[in-house]
Amino acid sequence: MNVIQAIKTKRAVRQYSPEAVPEPVIREILNAGRLAQSSKNSQPWTFLVLQDKERLLALSKCHPWAGHVADSAFTVVLVTTSAWPFDIGQAAANMQLAAWELGVGSGLVYLSDQAAARALLQVPENQHAEMAIAFGYPKSPEKRPANPAGRKPLDQVVRWEYWESK
Ligand SMILES: Cc1cc2nc3c(=O)[nH]c(=O)nc-3n(C[C@H](O)[C@H](O)[C@H](O)COP(=O)(O)O)c2cc1C
């Protein structure tokens, strides 16, 4: 799979098989995050990996739309010192695309219940921990979405030179 194929086919996966993801595969995914670009190459991130089922269940309760975290093989909390989420967005995209190529599905989650998330993760006060990515092999081949993502047409999201065309 090349990069463009990965970008065109990757979808959010929220149903996972109970199969464990081998550690070398997990490390390859984390390494893709490590290699991401960041402002001034500051690399303001720590990837906090959760695999313990009880902890995954507890994290899944930190947002109404994070239920799939409970069934993930592992979930990575994107911990950052930066209040600007653009940097961790780069690392997230790298990890999710690398995972996709490796046959591992992923789904982003926002941790809206920050009090619960912070109590669970025990991150220091100067760190943000608002986003996480659940990873796992898709539950069954048909649970890996085959259709291209529904997206606005290119002409609707692109303007050339000026906001209003002349
Ligand atoms: C910033 C951000 C936050 C997201 N938060 C959640 C979330 O809390 N729960 C969830 O199930 N999906 C979440 N998603 C995934 C999106 O819902 C999903 O990528 C989008 O609907 C497009 O679907 P697709 O990736 O399958 O094309 C999030 C995505 C982004 C970029």
What band does 148 get if pLDDT is binned at 50, 70 and 90?
low
Contact 142, 119 (CB under 8 A): no
β-partners of residue 132 are 77, 109
Nearest to 151 by CA among 3, 7, 13: 7
Pairing assessment for the beta strands 128-136 and 105-110 based on DSSP bridges: antiparallel
164 Cα–ligand 1 center, Å: 30
Nearest-Å Rg of the Cα atoms of the chain is 17
3-state secondary structure 142-157: HHCCCCCCCCCCHHHH
pLDDT at 13: 94
Work out the percent of the chain whose per-residue pLDDT is above 90: 87
- CA of 126 relative to ligand 1 center, distance in Å: 26
> Residue 66, SS3?
coil
Tokens of 164: 């209003």
Summarize the confidence of residues 64-83 as an average pLDDT.
97
81-123 residue pLDDT tens: 998 899 999 999 999 999 999 999 999 999 999 999 999 999 9
pTM: 0.95
Helix (H) or strand (E) holding 130: strand 128-136
User: What pLDDT, on the 0 to 100 scale, is given for residue 150?
Assistant: 80
Structure-token pair, residue 65: 């739309």
> Region 13-39: what's the mean pLDDT?
97
At 124-134, the pLDDT tens digits run 999 999 999 99
User: Who lines ligand 1 at CB under 6 A?
Assistant: 11-12, 14, 63, 65-66, 107-110, 149
β-bridge mates for residue 79, sequence order:
46
Tokens of 75: 């979930």
CA–CA separation, 5 and 102 (whole Å): 13
The whole-angstrom distance between residue 53's C-alpha and the CA centroid of its chain comes to 18
Alpha carbon distance 117, 27 (integer Å): 24
CA 162 to ligand 1 center in whole angstroms: 30
Does pLDDT of 54 surpass 90?
yes
Residue nearest to atom 21 of ligand 1 (CA): 12
| Centroid of ligand 1 to alpha carbon of 135 (angstroms) | 13
**3-class SS of residue 96:** helix
Percent of the chain with pLDDT over 70: 94
Which ligand 1 atom sits nearest the alpha carbon of residue 66?
A: 9
Provide the pLDDT for residue 149. 65
Give the distance from CA 164 to its chain's centroid.
35
